[in-house]
């Protein structure tokens, strides 16, 4: 009986992860916790123990993208990475790094290109965007710099090659330690311009 119950719970987690993945891909929800909550409500699952972890959600997103429109997703990913590289070229004085779904290959049609840039003051980023006549909107983002500490960072949202880009500004010495990923609790993986260019060339 216990084995059957455990198996049923695993199946419930899998179903919920698949539904959360569908919500992330089709609705452009970037917050995994919100996607899980929406999926749980839709499926009538309210037990906390049935909720999958963020790593399970990310795996389900990858599986969803492979099953539904593999070729279309490849073309989308290439387009987003080209736009990311173009934005990184514009912000090259600030050592830009690509992070998030566009880097990991889990981006959907509503995904934003997430960049980390490094400057002693956010105003320098704004000045650079002004110089190249890119309209932008400022934002603030809270990220976990250590496992027990949240910090607020300034950022700028703009469009490049019809894709939405969010460039979050870190101090120059912030390049040495990436913030904690909400997906797996490890430091975020970052890719510089040469790494993104290699991704494009290897996939092309």
Judge whether residue 49 has pLDDT over 80.
no
**If DSSP codes are grouped into helix, strand and coil, which group holds residue 12?**
helix
Burial of 195: CB neighbours in 10 Å, binned 0-12, 13-18, 19+: middle
pLDDT value at 1 more than 70: no
Element (H, E) at 156: strand 149-160
Question: Are 192 and 77 a contacting pair, CB within 8 Å?
Answer: no
Asked if residues 108 and 20 have their Cβ atoms less than 8 Å apart, the reply is no
Average pLDDT over the chain, rounded to whole? 87
Question: What's the pLDDT score for residue 4?
Answer: 44
Q: Evaluate the CA torsion angle 17, 20, 24, 29 in order and state its sign.
A: negative
Confidence check: pLDDT of 165 > 50: yes
The pTM for the full model equals 0.78
Confirm or reject CATH 3.30.460 for domain 70-203, answering yes or no.
yes
What pLDDT score does 3 carry?
47
Q: What is the pLDDT of residue 37?
A: 86
**Domain locations in the chain as residue ranges:** 2-67, 70-203
141 token code pair: 């983002």
Q: What is the pLDDT of residues 79-125, one digit of tens each?
A: 999 999 999 999 999 999 999 989 988 888 888 999 999 999 999 99
């Amino acid at each position: 009986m216990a084995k059957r119950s455990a198996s049923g719970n695993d199946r419930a987690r899998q179903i919920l992860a698949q539904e959360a993945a569908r919500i992330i891909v089709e609705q452009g929800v970037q917050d995994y916790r919100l996607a899980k909550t929406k999926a749980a409500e839709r499926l009538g699952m309210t037990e906390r123990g049935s909720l999958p972890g963020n790593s399970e959600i990310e795996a389900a997103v990858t599986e969803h993208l492979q099953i539904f429109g593999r070729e279309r997703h490849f073309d989308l990913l290439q387009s987003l990475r080209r736009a990311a590289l173009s934005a990184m070229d514009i912000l090259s004085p600030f050592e830009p790094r690509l992070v998030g779904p566009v880097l990991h290959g889990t981006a959907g049609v509503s995904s934003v290109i997430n960049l980390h840039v490094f400057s002693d003051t956010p105003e320098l980023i704004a000045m650079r965007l002004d110089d190249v006549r890119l309209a932008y909107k400022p934002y603030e983002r809270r990220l976990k710099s250590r496992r027990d500490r949240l910090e607020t960072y300034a950022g700028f949202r703009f469009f490049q090659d019809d894709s939405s880009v969010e460039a979050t500004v870190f101090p120059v010495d912030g390049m040495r330690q990436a913030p904690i990923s909400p997906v797996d609790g490890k430091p975020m993986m970052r890719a510089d311009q040469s790494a993104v260019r290699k991704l494009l060339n290897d996939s092309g």
